[in-house]
Amino acid sequence: MPLLSVQGLTTGFLTAGQFVPAVIDVSFALDKGETLCLVGESGSGKSLTALSIMRLIEPPGRIEHGRIVFKGRDLLQLPEREMQPVRGAEIALVFQEPMTALNPVFTVGDQIEETLRVHGRATRRTARDRAVELLEAVRVPEPGRRLREYPHQLSGGLRQRALIAMALACDPEVVIADEPTTALDVTIQAQILDLLRDLQARLGLALLLVTHDLGVVAEMADRVAVMYAGRIVEESPVGPLFSDPKHPYTRGLLASIPGLVPGRRLKAIPGTVPAPGTLPQGCCFTPRCPSRFEPCPSAHPGITDFGGGRTVKCYLHGRAVEPATAPPGPPPHGPVPQPCPEQA
Ligand SMILES: Nc1ncnc2c1ncn2[C@@H]1O[C@H](COP(=O)(O)OP(=O)(O)OP(=O)(O)O)[C@@H](O)[C@H]1O
Ligand code: SF4
Ligand SMILES: [Mg+2]
């Protein structure tokens, strides 16, 4: 049994009384000690998926369907008071922008110690020593001095390390890192990725790494889930994904990496990810897909399973149609907010 499995997750927003899905029937599993990268362009639903796992979706957002099974328990069924010890202690979230995740009016030390005390991992007396240990573990130089500083006194890289230290404070089994290096320059980014890899190996963490950067995926992932317009359209171990991408969207993303093929110029996929509520009726990628053909605009493709952990949703690889329980797209005459699947 995987440590964490997300099954048929559908999350969205109530807009003018109608449920508009932004994460649609998403399923994946994460084992102890492995890194799964969730990759896709901006607006594809990566952060909403991460927040759904933590049950941090706020109204008018809501989780409409699905199961999030962690160590045999469906987190979506837990009362909030039983979810609190899971959130932060067993499953920790590292955000993209450490300045918003850290409180500017408290020192870094106060914040790490508070996390330790709230989850009963240290007493007032032992918390400072543990905080020093944690900053050492994330390779912050002079941890004793840094603990007394405020977030604005640290560089971006050190702030991100402090945030990772906070995430590790309670020995979580799963770390969800949402674009942990996007705000950092390239050298610091490489150091933080190296740190995450090292921590993962030493602590046996399961890492769900959210990114829009296939360079990060190549460095970090064991497996990859490619997201487009709320759905996972391809899932694969990292090697085969790069050597033999199946989905036209994955192929487009790979072609857009500068330097992956020497001499090849950056080639962005023309067009943008459709916003929730404006999805085409058939395969969501149809308007941008260079390979589209006759079945594509009719209904969204279902899963084709190649074995070996490789799945794809695309009619080029089979005629499976998405089951009717998934939220449908709008009628062909134009985008309208999508109805709640239960009302459809
Ligand atoms: N509070 C909200 N209300 C309405 N729509 C929202 C809300 N939050 C997110 N969305 C929409 O849901 C979609 C998915 O958002 P999400 O933040 O998960 O994307 P993402 O893949 O994380 O993108 P990025 O790479 O930019 O972080 C987007 O179209 C976004 O505009
Ligand atoms: S189903 Fe059709 S439109 Fe969608 S990715 Fe495959 S070929 Fe392209
Ligand atoms: Mg995001």
Per-residue pLDDT tens for 192-244?
A: 999 999 999 999 999 999 998 898 999 999 999 999 999 999 999 999 999 99
Mean pLDDT of 98-127: 89
The answer, yes or no, to whether residue 39 has pLDDT greater than 90, is: yes
Bond preceding residue 60 cis, omega within 30 of 0? yes
Mean pLDDT of 22-33: 96
The residue from 146, 171, 196 where one domain ends is 171
Instruction: Average the pLDDT over each of 96-110, 128-142, 201-215, 256-270 and give the range with the smallest value.
Output: 256-270
The answer, yes or no, to whether residue 153 has pLDDT greater than 60, is: yes
Sheet holding 304-307, edge to edge: 91-94, 174-178, 206-211, 35-39, 223-228, 231-237, 310-312, 304-307
40 inside domain: yes
Torsion over CA: 265, 246, 213, 253 (sign): positive
Q: Which ligand is nearest to the CA of 280?
A: 2
Q: Which ligand is nearest to the CA of 293?
A: 2
Query: Is 158 found in the same domain as 253?
Result: no
Query: Is 107 found in the same domain as 241?
Result: no
Looking at residue 124, its pLDDT comes to 87
Query: Is 287 found in the same domain as 142?
Result: no
Question: Which residues on adjacent β-strands are paired with residue 18?
Answer: 15
Looking at residue 101, its pLDDT comes to 80
Q: Is 66 in the pocket of ligand 1 (CB under 6 A)?
A: no
CB atoms within 10 A of CB 103: 13
Ligand 1 centroid – CA 48 distance (Å)? 6
Q: Which residues constitute the domain of residue 131? A: 91-171
Ligand 2 centroid – CA 206 distance (Å)? 32
Q: Is 269 in the pocket of ligand 2 (CB under 6 A)?
A: no
Q: Is 35 in the pocket of ligand 2 (CB under 6 A)?
A: no
Residue 37: which CATH number? 3.40.50.300
Tell whether pTM > 0.75.
yes
Looking at residue 325, its pLDDT comes to 62
20 inside domain: no
Place of tokens 């190296």: 194
Q: Is 286 in the pocket of ligand 2 (CB under 6 A)?
A: yes
Query: Is 40 found in the same domain as 111?
Result: no
**Closest approach atom of ligand 1 to CA 51:** 18
The residue from 150, 171, 192 where one domain ends is 171
Ligand 2 centroid – CA 28 distance (Å)? 21
Query: Is 204 found in the same domain as 83?
Result: yes
Q: Is 52 in the pocket of ligand 1 (CB under 6 A)?
A: no
Query: Is 198 found in the same domain as 150?
Result: no
Query: Is 150 found in the same domain as 180?
Result: no
Looking at residue 335, its pLDDT comes to 35
Q: Is 315 in the pocket of ligand 2 (CB under 6 A)?
A: yes
Mean pLDDT of 303-309: 96
Mean residue pLDDT across the chain:
89
Q: Which ligand is nearest to the CA of 300?
A: 2
Q: Is 274 in the pocket of ligand 1 (CB under 6 A)?
A: no
Indicate the top mutation candidate among 13, 54, 94, 97 to test ligand 1's pocket, ranked by most ligand atoms within 8 A of CB. 13
Mean pLDDT of 153-157: 91
**Percentage of residues of the chain with pLDDT beyond 90:** 73
Structural domain count of the chain? 2
The residue from 111, 143, 171 where one domain ends is 171
Looking at residue 329, its pLDDT comes to 47
Query: Is 207 found in the same domain as 334?
Result: yes
15 inside domain: no
Query: Is 180 found in the same domain as 165?
Result: no
Q: Is 248 in the pocket of ligand 2 (CB under 6 A)?
A: yes
Cα–Cα dist 295/282, whole Å: 8
Sheet holding 18-30, edge to edge: 18-30, 4-15, 61-70, 73-74
pLDDT one-digit tens code per residue, 54-111:
999 999 999 999 999 999 999 999 999 999 999 988 999 998 776 678 899 999 999 9
210 inside domain: yes
The amino acid at 145: R
Query: What does the DSSP 8-state code read for residue 197?
Result: H
CB atoms within 10 A of CB 44: 25
The answer, yes or no, to whether residue 267 has pLDDT greater than 70, is: no
Looking at residue 187, its pLDDT comes to 87
Indicate the top mutation candidate among 14, 19, 42 to test ligand 1's pocket, ranked by most ligand atoms within 8 A of CB. 42
Query: Is 245 found in the same domain as 294?
Result: yes
Query: What SS3 state is found at 305?
Result: strand
The answer, yes or no, to whether residue 327 has pLDDT greater than 70, is: no
339 inside domain: yes
Place of tokens 């559908």: 10
Higher local confidence (pLDDT), 325 or 86: 86
Query: Is 181 found in the same domain as 274?
Result: yes
4 inside domain: no
Q: Considering only CA atoms, which residue is closest to atom 7 of ligand 2?
A: 292
Query: Is 165 found in the same domain as 183?
Result: no
